[in-house]
Structure 1
Amino acid sequence: MLHDFTQGLPEGFEEIYPIRRGSTVAAVDWNKPTRPIDLDVWSKQTSNFWLPEKIPLSNDLKSWNLLDEGTQRVVTHSLASLTRLDTLQAEFGAPCLLSSPGITPHESANLSFITGMEAVHARSYSSIFSTLLPSDKIDEAFKLANMDGLLSSEMDYFLTAYQGSQIDPLADSLPGPTLTAMKAATSVMLESFLFYTGFYPVLKLAAEAKLTNTADIIRLIMRDEAVHGFYIGGIFERLREEAAEDDETADIWSRIASYVEDSIESLFAVEKQRIEEYYSWSDVCKDWIPDALQFLGYNGKMAGSNLGDSDYAKNLGDYGDNVSAVILSQLSTVSDENHDYFSGSGSAYVIGTVESVTDDDWD
């Protein structure tokens, strides 16, 4: 039988739980969200929920089989790399923010949903592979991604920031909410920067009417990442604004700004090297490199904007200013040209609502 805590603590409770005198966790009240944006983002995320099983990927087999082996390898490596990054974000990215200092209960709830969707994203790439590739090629794809040294260096950067004061010299000297802001900024660099850059090969092929259903999954992921980057960037801005009232934190935030600038520049350099290396596996994809690098810069600058200051990406120079119109047109997340209502659901799929019939409907 449960103890009636209104009558005091049970005998021996203080010896077993000497620190826990009541709970510090309060019930989250969604009737009074901390900020209106919290409820808006919750509603947006829940209405956007999707699963990869709803997309008819087998329709892409014909165009996939027409691609040369090198191009297939480039696409496969980009998606396997994204799987690895999504796994990192699901296990460490959003979860490290959930109970961090300065995070409100409503923000924590939204971050929990983000964590779940990152796992869905990682799952979606396996759905693509199981449709387009034999088992041995799938094993090869994941092995290659797991052994990618440049990708591993990027992941080391994220893990260092997410684990905070355990490793990072800058984080070791930051007070709680400021350390949370640093983690949020790092998360945005993954959500708005590296994820989007990895989508390029599929978007490029979709512009040529190839892998259009795979591109629909990518657009669903982009729709989620747009919300994630915007929302987590908003948490960063909120923490920065709240700290602005304290003169003692001015130096700390100057260091945070330098950290963000340096990180965007460093991630750009590593990802540029990756693109130049693995796009060269295909004569077709080799020609994509200049535009892919423009897209890389575009996404770096988008990450800076989501953090509230485009100057965070000022060291990228002209990269991002001349992305091809073809790729920019593929960034729309409401493309439904591949599906009718009955055959499958694409990125513009909307679940129908039910309304009771009334006598007036027959007039």
Structure 2
Amino acid sequence: MSTYYKAINWNEIEDIIDKSTWEKLTEQFWLDTRIPLSNDLDDWRSLTPAEKDLVGKVFGGLTLLDTVQSESGMDQLRKDVRTPHEEAVLNNIQFMESVHAKSYSSIFSTLNTTKEIAEIFEWTNTNVYLQKKAERINEIYKNGTPLEKKIASVFLETFLFYSGFYTPLYYLGNNKLANVAEIIKLIIRDESVHGTYIGYKFQLGFNELPEDEQTKLKDWLYDLLYELYENEALYTEALYDEIGWTEEVKTFLRYNANKALMNLGQDPLFPDTADDVNPIVMNGISTGTSNHDFFSQVGNGYLLGTVEAMTDEDYQF
């Protein structure tokens, strides 16, 4: 009888990176419901109205990007997998992107009124710069080549999220909103794995191309990054000009754009390094979790791993 459908066999691994990534992602599993966000209410009340407005908007923007990634991105990437195990990893990534998107709503429900939440989502769904980057990435997901889709995914995961991540990391570095930032650090930990894994899969395909096609794709890649950065700079200005953080955030963006290029096996574009990033934000990244016993309700063996600082090694296999 001919085979209609093949069962996935995890005892025969074609690419060991599939197995190691699956194991890392499952070890990192977490849920927003186990983090005591209400403990941040005193810090929240101490923020100015402009700061509260900023927090709502950056989390609204992050919700939109995670929605794009969970609903469209992984669905498109699954069409071009090299191994059945890669598809399983992408299934895991898709689920966690949905967890990320839901996490922001948990933050909103803790910190904001119903009216404020509605205003945040209205802003998110109509902001021209936010909608433009969502549209640009999603159009590549729908119409791009398999390698172009992977480029778009890595740029989203390792670059475009970071205009939003800056705010909670800044507050964490100043000992504020620790539990909100805990969620962000867990998300960053996930995105670091997602970006390196998809970047690795890109490099496999890229290295198989003839030299002239590699050159053409690299030109496309850098043109896309320039385009995204120009829009991201405008988005950053709209978010941060009022409280004066704009140039610091742009530095952070350029630093992470270089990380995205590293994930894709390409040379950095910007001169910015970790030393140029606001040390308060880098301190926020490097601060460990508060070690809440989030998972005590489901058994002593089910423990949340420690969030560690990102290093260059996180961006390469």
| TM-score, length basis structure 1 | 0.78
In structure 2, the residue matched to 1:298 is 255
Q: Distance in 2 between matches of 1:352 and 1:233?
A: 35
Report the secondary structure of 1:99's partner residue.
helix
For structure 1, which segment, 130-139 or 264-273, has the greater mean C-alpha deviation from structure 2 after superposition?
A: 264-273
In structure 2, the residue matched to 1:10 is none
Deviation at 1:351, TM superposition (A): 7.0
Report the secondary structure of 2:6's partner residue.
coil
Q: Distance in 2 between matches of 1:230 and 1:111?
A: 13
Which of 180, 188, 192 matches 1:226?
Answer: 192
User: Greater Rg, structure 1 or structure 2?
Assistant: 1
In structure 1, the residue matched to 2:230 is 269
In structure 2, the residue matched to 1:147 is 126
CA distance change for structure 1 residues 261 and 320 in 2, over 3 Å: closer, same or farther?
farther
Deviation at 1:271, TM superposition (A): 0.8
Instruction: Name the aligned partner's letter for residue 295 of structure 1.
Output: F
Which of 55, 75, 80 matches 2:60?
Answer: 80
CA-based RMSD of the aligned residues comes to 2.1
Report the secondary structure of 1:308's partner residue.
coil
Which of 260, 265, 269 matches 1:308?
Answer: 265
Q: Distance in 2 between matches of 1:231 and 1:38?
A: 8
In structure 2, the residue matched to 1:126 is 105
Q: Distance in 1 between matches of 2:235 and 2:273?
A: 16
Contact between 2:240 and 2:246, CA under 8 Å: does it hold in 1?
Answer: yes
Aligned pair 1:58/2:38, yes or no? yes
Report the secondary structure of 1:330's partner residue.
helix
In structure 1, the residue matched to 2:161 is 195
Deviation at 1:197, TM superposition (A): 2.8
Q: Distance in 2 between matches of 1:211 and 1:33?
A: 43
In structure 2, the residue matched to 1:255 is 216
What CA deviation, in whole Å up to 9, does each residue of 1:229-255 have, x standing for no partner? 0000000011112x14xxxx3322222
Q: Distance in 2 between matches of 1:229 and 1:352?
A: 31
Which of 291, 301, 305 matches 1:353?
Answer: 301
| Contiguous gaps of at least 5 residues in structure 1 | 1-5, 7-20, 165-170, 172-178, 355-363
Aligned pair 1:322/2:301, yes or no? no
In structure 1, the residue matched to 2:171 is 205
Q: How many residues align?
A: 301
Contact between 1:237 and 1:307, CA under 8 Å: does it hold in 2?
Answer: yes
For structure 1, which segment, 216-225 or 302-311, has the greater mean C-alpha deviation from structure 2 after superposition?
A: 302-311
| Contiguous gaps of at least 5 residues in structure 2 | 303-317
| TM-score, length basis structure 2 | 0.89
Report the secondary structure of 1:31's partner residue.
coil
Deviation at 1:200, TM superposition (A): 0.5
Q: Distance in 1 between matches of 2:212 and 2:22?
A: 34
Q: Distance in 1 between matches of 2:91 and 2:272?
A: 37
Instruction: Name the aligned partner's letter for residue 94 of structure 1.
Output: M
Which of 163, 166, 183 matches 1:217?
Answer: 183
In structure 2, the residue matched to 1:34 is 14
Structure with the greater relative contact order (CA < 8 A, sep ≥ 6): 1 or 2?
A: 2
Contact between 1:189 and 1:303, CA under 8 Å: does it hold in 2?
Answer: yes
Report the secondary structure of 1:310's partner residue.
coil
Q: Percent identity?
A: 36
Aligned pair 1:96/2:76, yes or no? yes
Report the secondary structure of 2:176's partner residue.
coil
Deviation at 1:181, TM superposition (A): 1.5
